[in-house]
Chains A and B, each alone.
Chain A
Amino acid sequence: MSGPKLPHDSSDLPQDSGVAQTAENKLGKGTTGITRRGFLKGAGVTAAGTALLEGARAFGREAAATRGEHPEGVREFGPGPVAVTLQVNGKERVIHIEPRTTLADALRLEMAMTGTKVVCDRGACSACTLLMDDIPINSCMTLAIDAVGHQVTTIEGLTESSEGHSMQAAFLKHDAMQCGFCTPGMVMTCSALLKKNPKPTEDDVRLATAGNLCRCGTYPRIFAATLEAAGVSDSESTHNA
């Protein structure tokens, strides 16, 4: 089963807690304090789109389309597109998006960076994993505006790095993919693991990928590839061929 999943799992948190579940969970501290799910629930859905009430902390200086000041420092953005500046793979990108846009959609639709995949769109499969300040997060559960001020690394960016390269080479060597749709998320998760834990055991890899669903069933190869990339011997692994 994919659940319970650490650290990707958000199912144990209240669904409308108003806490950035994914980011909270992974970053270990709140970021901006608004979740996509909690926000959408509170804001309701109208044909004209949705306005966003924001704790003004994260992107006040970037947001162009501020509609007015609310009491207690709360400002409202949207419902129309706002200008948002993101740091993606070391480059500054300015996009115009509705505030409710997820980071995954912002990358895929606004920046044509389609390496990040969206599968469940609700935090249950980790196909959309990318790094925010080196911490793996589910980008379908993170609003693009919540990424303001953070360093976002996608699979495209990781590919340029040496650690990305060695993980990818290990994935190739062990044929740790079939259809490949889960693969970018797997590569992100596994290389994030090695950043935190350069010499993992197979159990560590299993735990790290517990939130990453692979329907083709390539897990044994992914374990072997990650251990190989870590330079950990692969003697009694599940790998075959």
Chain B
Amino acid sequence: MATTKIPSSTGVSPDAAQDMAGDGMKTVMMPVGVPGYTLRQEPRTMPATQPPVLPINADLKFIGKSPERWDGPAKVSGRARYTADIQLPGMLYAKFVDATVPHAKVISVDTSEAEKVAGVKGVFVIENLLGSAKLLNPSLEVSKYPIVRYAGQPIAAVAATNPQIAEDAAKLVKVKYDVMPFVVDMDQARRADAPMVFPGPANQAGTAGGGGGAADVPQTGNIHGPSVHTRGDIEQGFKDADVVVEEHYTTQVQVHNALESHGVVADWKPDLLTVWASTQGTASVREGLAGFFNLPKSQVRVITEFMGGGFGAKFGPGNPGVVAAALSKQTNAPVRLMLDRKEEQLSVGNRPSSDQTLRIGAKKDGTLTAIHLVSYGTAGCGTGAGCAGPATNMYKYASLRTEESDIFTNAGPATAFRAPGHPQGAFALEQTIDELANRLGMDPLDLRDKIDENSARRVEREIVRNSAIWKSRHATPNVDHGHIKRGVGVGQAVWYRNISMDSAAEVRVHQDGSVEVLSAVQDIGGGLKTVMAQILSEQFGVPPQQVSVKIGDTNYPVGPNSGGSVTTASLTPAVRDAAWNAAQNFLASIAPALGAQPDDLVLANGEVSSKSGKFQPISFRSAAAKMNTSEVSAQARRIPDYDRKAYETYGGVDVAEVEVDMEIGLIRVKRILAVHDCGRPMNPKQTMNQINGGVIQGMSYALYENRLIDSDYGLMVNANLDRYQIAGSREIPQIEVQLIQSYIGQSSTDASGIGEPGGIIGTPAAIANAFYNATGVRIRSLPMTPAVVLAALANTSQQKETA
């Protein structure tokens, strides 16, 4: 092995590091840490074939800059074609028939009337339902059709020549139910005499986006769990504590509500099933359909050119995918099945609720001796309500015990939702830490400095400490008099480095000077297409808009499913490696015509030049014309991270300023400061846009959103966008995002993702702590509606009176 310095160039010149030891590896220095704070060089060992180390963003031309969104022109002009926009000749429109009751055995499904309607071409009755938890022992339930476990569960579907006919005909399908007792309220479901959602143990697998609950756990009645994790000696931990804080928190169910609903256009041909899908994973849809229909993967093609939001809920074909494919097969025609807004809210996922009792013990100096979390939550007829992530991973502690249980209810199954479990868990943890700081008489940032060694988080707290918003915070709560009280609070986020090795890309250079990059990966709104173009620009020296980015098609090399913030971290190194290799092939291809050695050639500024000055620089395009074949290309696959021992968590520190109207109980969020890290920011403007979005979703979750199900009827009463309240333009606070560069030395791009940690985890807790800072009262229940606020205020004044 050989050790070299970082090349000072933009990484396009051939690497000076050679494989001296002949073991196929090289060791080079890489930037690690935060520029302006902790930046240093650290050695990393990697395959000798890896491209030269990229310097920090300040020394690059395209990567780390913010060129306009590559597919922005298509989006602002309405040209972007989403799944719902696909129209194929002879395409049919399908509509689900949904269960109207929350719990029942389906006795019969009579489709005869629907089939008679002119224009109806096919009817399909579901016998194999996806998404919900599955009984371990299916013989406990004998039924031809899936048991209805929530109102809105799809039962059948009708395909017709236009959507209106499909909708009319769907209403004519007669479903006969044998209605069973149901329970939709989590507290009622926990009672021993509650109706059972499942007659025996049941498990729900997670998706490529996460979610799903523990499988090897006890199940009693509707209580699935607990899943118990321990570290250290918890009893000793509490004995060692000088202070113990114990509090109880509850959070509501949140519904994703991506603007584009779930759905597909499926076109079943004898030798190829082609599916346009609104998905976060073309790979997951292909895998799901191939498995369901027992087709070779090579005969399933999935396309996602544009995708209208997912937030964790869109992996695999789901019921819409398999039903549309089945209808297409049956009718010999392409079939479009997009859910309507009501179905979207009922049947394709949500963020589970939580009921958490959190007990934390600490020494006088703040050192945590013990954390004990007991949590319950309902993921409807699915599992995955665990929320111990923050308690387990945010801080240093001597001992930990977490006990997480799912409570089954007759409601739609949960699925992964942006940072699964973490907004809930952080809402409890970060308020408890705030309370602990209070009891210890410590500044909340100082306490976190004591218990959180993460190097990026330290820098972030330093930035917060010096910010105007933090300096405006009253050191003690409840300082303001009058009916509007102002407060500032902080909440941290934690997330993890997840890498998918199913990440590959191909880069092609054509003789006409055009360059393209191909991968099956999808851009779900984060801006991956732009970032891929930037990587090619950095390599070839041509502007991003001159690069063709072709993704979202399983015909291209495999791409990761976009869940867990894996996409940028996983795919971009493969893109850079492919670009580097293609560039070497390109230079080798043109070198003879230029009378130069390939390693004498430099690609920059849209030109090819000679280091030794053999010839005057020529344009990239005229250099390409000298290629000795019409195309050169290279494919690269993700290689493992360079040094997993050096892993730290990602995250950020969110600060909120609120005004509380003490008379009407209204919380107004005035300002948010969100300070975050995600490795090397590839396109800061896009990254910060995502953080804005996370902050807004977090605020919306904290103050407004709430899935409401009527206990008497088991029906969701706000399955629409007018009564399911989401923060809109007038509620948006002033948001300042500070994105730090935090180099970690792990891959050829050193990039990470931001979708999960950015804003949604820390913001609700920051708002709650700001509320406490304003009023001196803790609010332990979400959403913090005026009713909840007034109740919290009244409760405390009562407590004061009786004390």
Contact = CB atoms under 8 A, between A and B. Distances in A.
B672 to A, nearest CB: 9
A127 B417 CA distance: 23
Contacts of A223: 729, 732
Contact of B527 (A100, A178, A215): A178
B346 to A, nearest CB: 14
Contact of B78 (A156, A171, A210): A156
A213 B77 contact: no
A150 interface: no
Given A168-B76, A216-B309, A1 B729 contact: no
Contacts of B689: 175, 178, 218, 221, 241
Interface in A151-169: 154-156, 159, 167-168
Contacts of B341: 119-122
Interface in A196-241: 205-207, 209-223, 238, 240-241
B155 to A, nearest CB: 19
A171 B526 contact: no
Interface stretch (B125-133, B164-172, B477-485, B634-642): B164-172
B721 A120 contact: yes
B69 A172 contact: yes
B257 A238 contact: no
A240 B259 contact: no
Interface string A53-66: 00000000000000
A241 B722 contact: no
A15 B760 CA distance: 36
Contacts of A109: 87, 162-163
B725 A1 contact: yes
A124 interface: yes
Given A2-B725, A213-B259, A47 B116 contact: yes
A116 B78 contact: yes
Interface string B501-532: 00000000000000000000000111100000
A101 B167 CA distance: 13
B525 A180 contact: yes
B280 to A, nearest CB: 11
A203 to B, nearest CB: 9
Interface in B66-101: 66, 68-69, 71-82, 84-85, 87
A47 B168 contact: yes
Interface in B342-356: none
A4 B711 CA distance: 27
B696 A172 contact: no
A94 B736 CA distance: 50
A105 to B, nearest CB: 7
A19 to B, nearest CB: 18
Given A119-B259, A172-B68, A215 B162 contact: no
A183 B81 CA distance: 13
A215 B311 contact: yes
B308 A180 contact: yes
A213 B306 CA distance: 19
Given A155-B77, A187-B76, A219 B729 contact: yes
Interface stretch (B141-149, B282-290, B680-688, B793-801): B680-688
A187 B76 CA distance: 7
B690 interface: yes
A45 B172 CA distance: 10
B725 A3 contact: yes
Interface in B536-560: none
A173 B732 contact: no
Given A47-B169, A217-B693, A241-B685, A179 B307 contact: yes
B78 A212 contact: no
B109 interface: no
B29 interface: no
A184 interface: yes
Interface string B720-764: 111001111111111111010000000000000000000000000
Contacts of A131: none
B274 interface: no
A100 to B, nearest CB: 7
A114 B690 contact: no
A167 B691 CA distance: 24
A79 B172 CA distance: 18
Contacts of B442: none
Contacts of A210: 728-730
Interface string B308-322: 110100000000000
Given A168-B77, A172-B76, A238 B734 contact: yes
A5 B80 CA distance: 27
Contacts of B734: 238
A173 B69 CA distance: 9
B696 A219 contact: yes
B340 interface: yes
B697 A2 contact: no
Contacts of B74: 180
Nearest to B258: A215
A31 to B, nearest CB: 22
B260 A213 contact: no
A223 B260 CA distance: 23
Interface string A184-201: 100100000000000000
B721 A213 contact: yes
A117 interface: yes
B117 interface: yes
B75 A2 contact: no
A179 B729 contact: no
B326 to A, nearest CB: 23
Nearest to B68: A172
B77 A179 contact: no
Nearest to B693: A217
Interface in B364-389: none
Interface in A104-125: 105, 108-109, 112-125
B692 A220 contact: yes
Contact of A213 (B80, B84, B117, B728): B728
Interface string A37-49: 0000000011111
A60 B608 CA distance: 68
B57 to A, nearest CB: 13
Given A2-B728, A207-B729, 14 more contacts: A47-B169, A109-B162, A114-B78, A116-B78, A119-B260, A122-B720, A179-B306, A180-B308, A181-B82, A215-B311, A218-B693, A219-B696, A220-B692, A240-B692
15 contacts: A45-B168, A114-B85, A119-B259, A119-B260, A122-B341, A124-B722, A159-B78, A179-B260, A179-B308, A180-B308, A187-B76, A210-B728, A223-B729, A241-B688, A241-B689
Interface of A: 1-3, 5, 11, 45-49, 98, 100-101, 105, 108-109, 112-125, 127, 154-156, 159, 167-168, 171-173, 175, 177-184, 187, 205-207, 209-223, 238, 240-241
Interface of B: 66, 68-69, 71-82, 84-85, 87, 113-114, 116-118, 162-165, 168-169, 171-172, 256-261, 306-309, 311, 340-341, 524-527, 684-686, 688-690, 692-697, 704, 720-722, 725-737, 739
